[in-house]
Amino acid sequence: MQRAVIETYGCTLNHADSDMIEGILKRSEVRVSREGSTEDAKPDYVIVNTCTVKKPTEQRIIDRLEKLRGKGSSIIVTGCMASANPERIKEALPEASIISISNIPTELPKVLEGGQARDSIAYRKVDRAKLIYNPKEVIARIPVSDGCLSSCSFCETKFARGPLNSFSEELILKAVSNAVSNGSKEIELASQDTGAYGADRRTDIADLVSKALSIDGNFRIRIGMLNPEHLHKYFDRLIECYKSDKVYKFLHLPVQSGSDSVLKEMRRNYSAEEFRSYVNEARSKIPGMSISTDMIVGYPTETEEDFLESISLLKETRPAVTNVSKFWERPNASAKRSGRLSNQIIKRRTIEMARLAKSIQYEDLSLAIGTTEKICITEKNSKSYVGRDSFYRNIAVDSAEDLGTDITVRITGNSSVCLMAERIA
């Protein structure tokens, strides 16, 4: 039996794509391991599913590819870097076959049938919902679309994933239903911009989620990140969905900056005030709603005043999670033509904002100490079992549990990213 290893970098959508690749391999009776070591196993195939969002991640991938040289496995490189920057891959590993994710469904089976692996990078619009595969785990990752409607000036992913391609609502719902009947308790709807879902199919994310709520079973849906630009089209209906026990009270709105002039430069089509009002409205209608956001620090045109506007937006909205990233020039993204702030300024601002985000998260999580929560155990890490409560908070329990089990815990402590708890029922 042939063996393959899938190595995945990047976001939930990339991991969902690796699930799809696992499904294709298994249908060809190839034994699959995920993130396994290649040294000792010497697999027949190594499939590297790449990400291109940040420079350091890209460099890590290049280092990995160089290490795979001459190892005797057939190397297939896919994912965002395969479409946005294939030349760099070829430089690092000339023997690799570069296949864009939209071509994997047609090209990979050919390779597995003994065909010559060849580069296949051209963009193709494919409804990949028919290929959704869930390896019967507690967490099911369901891709709902590829690409997006925006053209953010800092973004490289746009050049990898192309225009919005929403997958069929019917097939997505079928995949959710299959995952639930296979025992999945957490359904992650994934995409570059879940907020744009359906704009090319006369539907939207609120419509999709409201239909998923009629699926029988004990599960919760995590709605992926939503560019605030599209919320006005369905916000009220989306909030109705959040009222269901089948949806985590977790709203991921990447704001990126608190300054309207920087947002304009970034080509983000909303204002800081709009973000503020969505957060306030969501919290007033869903008490305790966990708000998650992303901030880019050190954008080329960001002044000290702009930066302070981002800081005060965080202080005011107190997100449960803030993913702070420093600005990275990307090969195809237009922001690289806007000059660059000094590394010193970028570093100082990034440290300052990361420190603030951490203290907000720590203070807010500490308010939960002594409360009791119903959680579902969804992961096991090296130290403990981890569950999620209805606000999608990370809760580590010190007792051994079965994945997928619902238990009641008392919160005993916290860090800036996690609550600690003891089981009480």
Chain residues in the site for ligand SF4 (CB under 6 A): 148, 150-152, 155, 157-158, 192-193, 227
Closest distance of CB 197 from ligand SF4, Å: 12
Backbone CA torsion sign across 394, 399, 405, 410? negative
Q: Which residue has the tokens 């039996």?
A: 1
Cα–Cα nearest to 56, from 246, 397, 330: 330
Nearer to ligand SF4, 100 or 227 (CB): 227
Nearer to ligand SF4, 160 or 314 (CB): 160
Residue 72's CB is within 10 A of a number of other CB atoms, namely 10
Nearer to ligand SF4, 58 or 373 (CB): 58
122, 160 in Cβ contact below 8 A?
A: no
Q: Classify 136 as helix, strand or coil.
A: coil
Nearer to ligand SF4, 227 or 317 (CB): 227
Nearer to ligand SF4, 210 or 332 (CB): 332
Residue 31's CB is within 10 A of a number of other CB atoms, namely 13
Residue type, 64: R
Nearer to ligand SF4, 227 or 293 (CB): 227
Nearer to ligand SF4, 96 or 152 (CB): 152
Cross-strand pairs, 50: 79
Cα–Cα nearest to 179, from 128, 123, 122, 141: 141
Closest distance of CB 184 from ligand SF4, Å: 26
Closest distance of CB 165 from ligand SF4, Å: 12
- Rounded-to-integer distance, Cα 268 and Cα 274, Å: 12
Closest distance of CB 290 from ligand SF4, Å: 21
Closest distance of CB 393 from ligand SF4, Å: 25
Closest distance of CB 326 from ligand SF4, Å: 16
Backbone CA torsion sign across 73, 76, 81, 83? positive
Closest distance of CB 138 from ligand SF4, Å: 28
Helix, strand, coil percentages for the chain (3-state, nearest 5):
40, 25, 40
The DSSP symbol for 249 reads: S
Closest distance of CB 166 from ligand SF4, Å: 13
- Rounded-to-integer distance, Cα 143 and Cα 188, Å: 8
- Rounded-to-integer distance, Cα 143 and Cα 212, Å: 14
Nearer to ligand SF4, 8 or 145 (CB): 145
Rg (CA), the chain: 22
Give the full edge-to-edge strand order of the sheet including 31-34: 31-34, 3-8, 45-50, 74-79, 97-98
Closest distance of CB 224 from ligand SF4, Å: 11
Q: Residue 230 is encoded by which pair of tokens? A: 């599209």
- Rounded-to-integer distance, Cα 39 and Cα 8, Å: 17
Whole-Å CA distances, 58 to 55, 110, 198, 333: 5, 28, 30, 15
Closest distance of CB 148 from ligand SF4, Å: 3
- Rounded-to-integer distance, Cα 201 and Cα 196, Å: 11
Nearer to ligand SF4, 255 or 320 (CB): 255
Nearer to ligand SF4, 58 or 193 (CB): 193
Nearer to ligand SF4, 222 or 268 (CB): 268
Closest distance of CB 150 from ligand SF4, Å: 4
Cα–Cα nearest to 14, from 64, 59, 49: 49
φ, ψ of residue 316 in degrees (nearest 5): -80, -45
